[in-house]
Amino acid sequence: MKIGILIIYSDNEDYKKMMQIQKEYLEKFKNEIIFYFCQMNNEQENDLEVVDNFLYVKGNESLLNILKKTIVSMKYIIQNHNIDFLIRTNISTIININKFKQILQFIPRTEFYGSSNYLNLQWLSYEHGIYDNSLFGTIYAQGTCIIFSKDIVEDICRDSDKLRYDLVDDLAIGVYINTFKPHVLESSQRISNGLLTMIDTKTNDVSQITDNHIFYRNRYLSYEANETRYNDILNMKYFTNYLFT
């Protein structure tokens, strides 16, 4: 069974360090997974350029452009790789590959839109495209940890013109699932509950965290512009060493 991993990435000094940690860790599973970092680049000529494990999508980095680079990258992956599942995550979240492989027997290979954390939209956020309460009550998979079966990736790519590009990526995908595949959301929530777990270093002592989780989200603080991700980088190094020993 082949797993694809798509990691949202943008270029700064902290993220470069995180990317290198992710790359060194994921390459240890190269016979079982394929992985790509996706990044916007407005200087390139082509809509998509592929360099090693990087998918560069033409355009400017922004919150609302994360959906564009996700969809363009998903189309490339599904057209060029024979995968069974695709995990869409971010640069600071470590995936426990060994644990994920263990639970694959419990996850259906079709009609699956899984997550360790489903959100219920109940707030306004102009920067995320949420200007009113018309989408309140939308249940959707948090963008740090979305798992798609291959057929759902194919459906989203085929119907990419039906996505709400005026919304932040995880919500836009959730709106699509709620609108066109509500039965998939219901069944996937039921399966994901207790099976796909995530732990957040913001609220937990790293030294006490076990290897029983699928996702390790490294978010030590609510970041201001002048803060670094130093603690997150240290935690990522700790987890990648811990999970592979």
Closest CA to 138 of 182, 184, 97: 182
Assigned domain for 224 exists: no
User: Into how many domains does the chain fold?
Assistant: 1
- DSSP 8-state class, residue 145: E
pTM, whole model, 2 decimals? 0.96
Choose the weakest-confidence range: 2-6, 180-184, 223-227: 223-227
Question: Which residue range forms the structural domain that includes residue 99?
Answer: 3-197
Assigned domain for 120 exists: yes
Instruction: Report whether pLDDT(224) > 80.
Output: no
Percent of the chain with pLDDT over 70: 97
Assigned domain for 149 exists: yes
Between CA 23 and CA 150, with CA 241 as vertex, the angle to 5 degrees is 50
Assigned domain for 230 exists: no
Task: State pLDDT tens for residues 47-103.
Answer: 999 999 999 999 999 999 999 999 999 999 999 999 999 999 999 999 999 999 999
Assigned domain for 222 exists: no
Assigned domain for 114 exists: yes
Assigned domain for 229 exists: no
Q: Under a CB-based contact definition with an 8 Å cutoff, are residues 183 and 176 in contact?
A: no
Task: State pLDDT tens for residues 124-145.
Answer: 999 999 999 999 999 999 999 9
Assigned domain for 15 exists: yes
What CATH number is given to the structural domain containing 8? Answer: 3.90.550
